Amino acid sequence: MTRPPGRPAPAGGLARAAAITATVALTVATLTGCGAGKAPARHTVVVLAASSLTESLTAAARDYEKSHPGTDVQLSFASSSTVVTQVNQGAPADLIALAGETAMAPLEKSRIARDGTRTLAANTLEIATPPGNPGKVTTLADLSRPALRVVLCAATVPCGMAAAKALSAAGVVAHVVSYEINVKATLAKVQLGEADAAIVYHSDVVSAGGRVRGVPIPASVNQRLDYPLVRLSEDTATVAFAAYLLSDQGHQRLRDHGFQLP
């Protein structure tokens, strides 16, 4: 892009601008190219899932990627209502997994692939306390004690809705100090020792290992949520990964993390 000395080039500015644009475009292309993967044979499956599936789906996806080197499973976790809002707003996703059938209601049906809905797993509620159980919580009714700090999920997300149903079925008004935006945020408050008790899923208590203690909720008031696995894409890699999740191997991973089978 050198200009002949002493001669004004009328198009010089334009040429330079074009060169700069080209360089920028090239840089952008290179940068985005990195994310897309080098080999053309790689397939990416984008999965948006309920927070409660964080550990189990991550483990299942890593297993799958190991046995299927050509597939890259990208996972993102949020509350089911956030997932549905994102999909309705056009977020690119191939597969979504939600906590409970109710969470699926606002999902735009036109986005679902033909015959794309299956039940992935089932989950129930459980009380989580810090390992030492400082609030000495043994029953659901204990949650109404004013000295206790109870954290629930917000009523807009499935775990919050289910917890509210269980509490009202038991006739308990819990002493709530905070409504968290998803089940993992709720669990975190117990793990950090800031809350004495939280109502989360059984799978969260199992996945947290020794970092929390579970206190069962009786079956008479407990809520069972069936987790729909919804395919939004006809892509073969997506179909294959969905089939894997529903296979014995996939189910084993979910069971390891405290889920029940549908």
Partner 1 sequence: MRSVRWARTGLFIPAWIGIAVLLVPMVALLLKADWAGMPDQLAKPSVVPALRLSLMTTSSTLVICALLGTPLAWLLARSTHRLTPWLRALVTVPLVLPPVVGGVALLMAYGREGVVGRTLLEVAGWSIPFTPVAVVFAETFVALPFYVLAVEGSMRGLDRRYDGLAATLGASPWRTFRTVVVPMVAPGIASGSALAWARALGEFGATITFAGNFPGRTQTAPLAVYVALESDPQAAIALSLVMLLVSIVILGLLRGRWLR
Q: How far apart are the first and last CA of the chain?
A: 67
Give the footprint of partner 1 on this chain (CB under 8 A): 8, 10, 12-14, 17, 79, 81-82, 85, 149, 151, 154-157, 176-181, 189, 192-194
112, two tokens: 């679902």
Give the number of other CB atoms < 10 A from CB of residue 252.
13
Q: Which amino acid is at 117?
A: T
Contact present, 128 and 135 (Cβ < 8 Å): no
Q: In angstroms, give the least distance from the CB of 116 to partner 1.
A: 23
Q: In angstroms, give the least distance from the CB of 156 to partner 1.
A: 4
**22-55 burial code (b ≥16 CB/10 A, e <16):** eeeeeeeeeeeeeeeeeeeeebbbbbbbbbbbbb
Q: In angstroms, give the least distance from the CB of 148 to partner 1.
A: 12
Identity of the residue, 121 or 174, whose beta carbon is nearer to partner 1 in the bound complex: 174
Identity of the residue, 181 or 221, whose beta carbon is nearer to partner 1 in the bound complex: 181
Q: In angstroms, give the least distance from the CB of 123 to partner 1.
A: 20
Identity of the residue, 149 or 251, whose beta carbon is nearer to partner 1 in the bound complex: 149
- Tell me how many degrees the CA angle 243-244-248 measures, rounded to the nearest 5: 110
Estimate the crossing angle of helix 248-256 against helix 54-67, to 10 degrees. Answer: 140
Identity of the residue, 121 or 128, whose beta carbon is nearer to partner 1 in the bound complex: 128
Identity of the residue, 100 or 258, whose beta carbon is nearer to partner 1 in the bound complex: 100
Q: In angstroms, give the least distance from the CB of 178 to partner 1.
A: 3
d(CA 45, CA 36): 12
Q: Which residues contact 116 (CB under 8 A, 6 or more apart)?
A: 230, 231, 232
Q: In angstroms, give the least distance from the CB of 161 to partner 1.
A: 10
Identity of the residue, 12 or 92, whose beta carbon is nearer to partner 1 in the bound complex: 12
